[in-house]
Amino acid sequence: MSDTLAPRAVIGVMTPAMNTVVQPELELLRPPGVTNQMQRFRLGGDKVSDDLPDEAQKLMDCNPAALCIGLTTDAGPGGVERLSRRCAELEDLVGIPVLNASTADYAALRALGAQKVAVVTPFNPEIDQNVKANTEAAGFEVVAIAGTCAPSLPEICQTPLDDIRAVFHKVAASNCDAILQVGTALPVVSMIEELEADLGKPIVACNAAVYWQTLRKVGISDAVKGYGSLLSN
């Protein structure tokens, strides 16, 4: 018997404990017959998060079809590979698909046919160089990168929308095929359609990308209108 409020799928969503952006943004993208069920974890340790497996096991009690990990790790050298390995371990543990925002970003860029990429981050220029290296290691050419320079991880969630818009406009002046945004605590999803219309470039926002990939993984291909080109097809 299917879940009354989620006859199509229950999606398990996991996000760092301090992140107040993933949950409301993914609720915006939820198609009919799908519910998002949340669990939080703390960052740290050699494997991205020491408590991720225990928190995921709690979430399994609601019988999700997949786990959607609202986290990008592009800010550190080799961070994307570490997150991918951690998610593979978690998938073996829980027995359902586990998707993460970093690798979903790359899948979304490929789906849009992008090769030359401009990148928006919540970080400073020094950390941006790690993001650039990770993006290029995935096979893309980074033609521009800029960040909002949030002074701490919790303060990323507090970034004014006009500051985010300004960084998008800055990188859009490059010869890019698409604009990638990393950092799941940076609130961008509500602005995707507005920014695409203003800038004339497709935008891959990390929270939209991981939810798009999760929905497609569980067989839900609905177009989610109002949030940009990635989810509209």
Q: What is the pLDDT of residues 1-27, one digit of tens each?
A: 789 999 999 999 999 999 999 999 999
State pLDDT tens for residues 57-74. Answer: 999 999 999 999 999 999
Judged against a pLDDT cut of 90, whether residue 169 lies above it is answered with yes
pLDDT for 233: 78
Residues 6 or more apart in contact with residue 4 via CB below 8 angstroms: none
pLDDT value of residue 157: 97
DSSP state of 167: H
Confidence of residue 45 (pLDDT cuts 50, 70, 90): confident
Read off the pLDDT of each residue in 178-190 and give the average, rounded to a whole number.
Answer: 98
Contact 101, 212 (CB under 8 A): no
Q: What proportion of the chain, given as a percentage, has pLDDT over 70?
A: 100
> 166-194: b or e for each residue (b if 16 or more CB lie within 10 Å)?
ebbeebbebebbbbbbbbbbbbbbebbbe
